[in-house]
């Protein structure tokens, strides 16, 4: 999200999901939309039925490839090279939007210089994508009247994740494919309230509404509202807190509804870090890999047991409503009020609507949002005032950067932090499956889902299976420099030769024992999408 924020202003999707079906061309980049976001893929299906041209950029032959005009089957970790290549072709063929670039952007000359060497031939060497396909994709995307890019974690979960997102923005900006209905960039968010959790500012450098902690004016506003002096120094990112814990310098941690010992990369490192914390509190609805490290476990309330709001991947703030009583008697918002009050800071709200009123008073993008309005219907931020209808399409007039212009950023191909070699010859890509969710603690407790989708399977290409003498259904050991797991094989043409795929939903196949310690230096986002592994038949 930092990438889009740097290029365009806001770390959020620029348009609404229902506009996807109105686009003439869709570039689906690093998103297995059909499985990761099944209902968004219904909008994609509608676009397909409406005759939209479809470009899929993904190392895996995902289901959408069946409907694609072009499949850009890039090697994992070569996103920037591919996107620079598309921009290169668009500039060479004169398909760019000169008017838009002049009126609404800055830094075009830097971009032009940077992409000069990304010729189709060079891009072929770096990405494995044929020059013909690159040119065809560039022509389809640039030639469309309304084009949208849908991207997923295949863009962001790389050590160059932030730059990958900037490269996506460069492509859209060169063509002027942003700032209109059915024309823009949709960053598809993973968990239900990732957008909201980002907006609300549990973030080391920003208060609620992306307002920097380093800005004295902002601090003053929050100090006045909260009645205490606030620290000006940005804090540690989650991954850094764990690093410091392992070193022994970070001592007390509260983990709310998260399972890093299952879902963070390089689990052995995480386990050591969690074991080193002097006092760890974990609040969750089920026992997880992480709760076992806790000194105190608090019961969480599920979404059905409390009032509140979630913000979805199109910036839409929606209510959740209490249907049944919390199993433990308390919702998390009540628990935090009680802890704060016990520590001498009075925190009291009679209802979550009062918390939203406080959020609205402090964060301009939520300024006009209240429960009374949300009960009439959901609202997309920015919604600065009580009479503002909310915003379906961002950037129609200007970009939310200083000066109002979007910024081109010159980028170079860097590749993945870990690449295959003789010892670890395969690239492991990780991701999601439609039927399961995250650490699986919820979906694995559905009888029907477990009956039909009981176990994790390693996806191995038919060519690699033949080479290794491994048959469908056989058990293998998958090992990386960090750990090993045992898993059954699915011989599946979805994987290209040299790549294998695993999801991370099952506790008996802890995929993240294998994943890479490399991270994006800006956001700290781990490189889940690419690490080197070895596969041995058992």
Residues of span 329-368 touching another protein by CB under 8 A = 329-333, 335-340, 342-345, 347, 352, 355-356, 358-359
Interaction with another protein in 446-475: which residues (CB under 8 A)? 446-449, 451-453
Tell me which of 147, 178, 213, 429 binds another protein, using CB under 8 A. 213
Pair of tokens at residue 13: 């999707």
Q: Tell me if the bond preceding 104 is cis, omega within 30° of 0.
A: no
Pair of tokens at residue 118: 């990304």
Stretch that binds another protein, among 96-104, 327-335, 409-417, 470-478 (CB under 8 A): 327-335
Give me the phi and psi of 121, to 5 degrees please: -70, -45
Interaction with another protein in 413-442: which residues (CB under 8 A)? 434-437, 441-442
Binding mask 227-266 for another protein (x = CB under 8 A): xx-xx-xxxxxxx-x-------xxxxxxxxxx-x--xxx-
Distance, in Å, from the CA atom of 463 to the CA atom of 423, rounded to the nearest integer, reads 19
Is the torsion defined by CA of 449, 453, 458, 460 positive or negative? negative
Considering beta carbons, is residue 308 or 420 the nearer one to another protein? 308
Q: Tell me if the bond preceding 382 is cis, omega within 30° of 0.
A: yes
Q: How far is the CB of 92 from another protein (least distance, A)?
A: 31
Is residue 507 within the footprint of another protein (CB under 8 A)?
no
Distance, in Å, from the CA atom of 174 to the CA atom of 27, rounded to the nearest integer, reads 15
Distance, in Å, from the CA atom of 515 to the CA atom of 528, rounded to the nearest integer, reads 6
Distance, in Å, from the CA atom of 244 to the CA atom of 202, rounded to the nearest integer, reads 19
Considering beta carbons, is residue 20 or 74 the nearer one to another protein? 20
Is residue 18 within the footprint of another protein (CB under 8 A)?
yes
Confirm if 39 and 313 have CB atoms less than 8 A apart: no
Interaction with another protein in 91-130: which residues (CB under 8 A)? none
Considering beta carbons, is residue 410 or 442 the nearer one to another protein? 442
Tell me which of 121, 275, 324, 372 binds another protein, using CB under 8 A. 324
Considering beta carbons, is residue 76 or 352 the nearer one to another protein? 352
Interaction with another protein in 157-186: which residues (CB under 8 A)? 181-182
Considering beta carbons, is residue 233 or 421 the nearer one to another protein? 233
Considering beta carbons, is residue 230 or 538 the nearer one to another protein? 230
Stretch that binds another protein, among 127-135, 136-144, 221-229, 473-481 (CB under 8 A): 221-229
Q: How far is CA 367 from CA 13, 39, 460, in A?
A: 19, 29, 50
Q: How far is the CB of 79 from another protein (least distance, A)?
A: 18
Kindly provide the residue ranges of all beta strands, DSSP E only, lying in 58-162, ordered along the sequence: 70-72, 105-106, 147-151
Closest CA to 142 of 16, 29, 53: 53
Is residue 155 within the footprint of another protein (CB under 8 A)?
no
Interaction with another protein in 473-492: which residues (CB under 8 A)? none
Stretch that binds another protein, among 72-80, 131-139, 307-315, 411-419 (CB under 8 A): 307-315
Tell me which of 313, 368, 382, 417 binds another protein, using CB under 8 A. 313
Distance, in Å, from the CA atom of 74 to the CA atom of 467, rounded to the nearest integer, reads 22
Distance, in Å, from the CA atom of 363 to the CA atom of 390, rounded to the nearest integer, reads 14
The size of the interface with another protein (CB under 8 A), counted in residues, is 152
Distance, in Å, from the CA atom of 11 to the CA atom of 7, rounded to the nearest integer, reads 9
């Amino acid at each position: 999200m930092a990438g889009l924020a740097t290029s365009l202003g806001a770390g959020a999707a620029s348009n609404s999901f229902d506009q996807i079906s109105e686009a003439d061309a869709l570039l689906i980049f690093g998103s297995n939309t059909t499985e990761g976001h099944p209902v968004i893929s219904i909008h994609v299906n509608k676009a397909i039925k409406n005759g939209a041209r479809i470009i899929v950029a993904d190392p895996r032959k995902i289901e959408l490839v069946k409907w694609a005009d072009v499949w850009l089957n890039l090697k994992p970790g070569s996103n920037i090279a591919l996107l620079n290549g598309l921009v290169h072709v668009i500039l060479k063929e004169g398909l760019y939007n000169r008017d838009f670039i002049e009126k609404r952007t800055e830094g075009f000359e830097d971009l032009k210089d940077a992409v000069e060497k990304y010729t189709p031939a060079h891009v072929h060497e770096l990405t494995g994508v044929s020059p013909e396909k690159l040119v065809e994709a560039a022509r389809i995307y640039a030639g469309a009247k309304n084009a949208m890019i849908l991207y997923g974690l295949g863009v962001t979960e790389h050590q160059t994740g932030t730059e990958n997102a900037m490269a996506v923005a460069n492509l859209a900006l060169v063509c002027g494919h942003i700032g209109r209905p059915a024309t823009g960039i949709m960053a598809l968010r993973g968990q239900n309230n990732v957008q909201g959790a980002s907006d609300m500012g549990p973030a080391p450098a920003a208060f609620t509404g992306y307002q920097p902690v380093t800005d004295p004016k902002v601090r003053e506003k929050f100090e006045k509202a909260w009645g205490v002096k606030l620290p000006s120094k940005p804090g540690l990112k989650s991954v850094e807190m764990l690093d410091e814990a392992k070193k022994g310098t970070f001592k007390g941690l509260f983990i709310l509804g998260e399972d890093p010992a299952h879902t963070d990369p390089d689990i052995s490192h995480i386990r050591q870090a969690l074991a080193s914390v002097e006092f760890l509190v974990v609040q969750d609805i089920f026992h997880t890999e992480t709760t076992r490290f806790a000194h105190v476990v608090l019961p969480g309330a599920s979404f059905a047991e409390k009032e509140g709001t979630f913000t979805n991947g199109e910036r839409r703030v929606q209510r959740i409503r209490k249907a049944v009583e919390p199993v433990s008697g308390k919702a998390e918002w009540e628990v935090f009020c009680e802890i704060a009050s016990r520590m001498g800071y009075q925190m009291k709200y009679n209802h979550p609507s009062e918390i939203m009123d406080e959020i609205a008073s402090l964060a301009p993008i939520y300024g006009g949002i209240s429960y009374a309005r949300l009960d009439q219907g959901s609202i997309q931020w920015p919604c600065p005032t009580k009479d503002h209808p909310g915003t379906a399409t961002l950037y129609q007039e200007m970009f939310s950067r200083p000066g109002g212009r979007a910024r081109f950023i010159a980028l170079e191909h860097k590749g993945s932090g870990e690449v295959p070699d003789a010892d670890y010859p395969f690239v492991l890509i990780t991701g999601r499956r439609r039927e399961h969710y995250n650490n699986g603690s919820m979906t694995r407790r559905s009888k029907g889902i477990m009956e039909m989708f009981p176990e994790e399977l390693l996806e191995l290409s038919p060519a690699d299976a033949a080479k290794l003498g491994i048959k469908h259904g056989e058990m293998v050991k998958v090992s990386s420099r960090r750990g090993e797991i045992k898993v059954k094989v699915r011989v599946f043409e979805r994987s290209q030769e040299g790549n294998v795929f695993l999801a991370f939903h099952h506790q008996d196949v802890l995929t993240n024992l294998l994943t890479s310690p490399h991270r994006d230096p800006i956001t700290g986002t781990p490189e889940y999408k690419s690490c080197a592994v070895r596969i041995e038949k058992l």
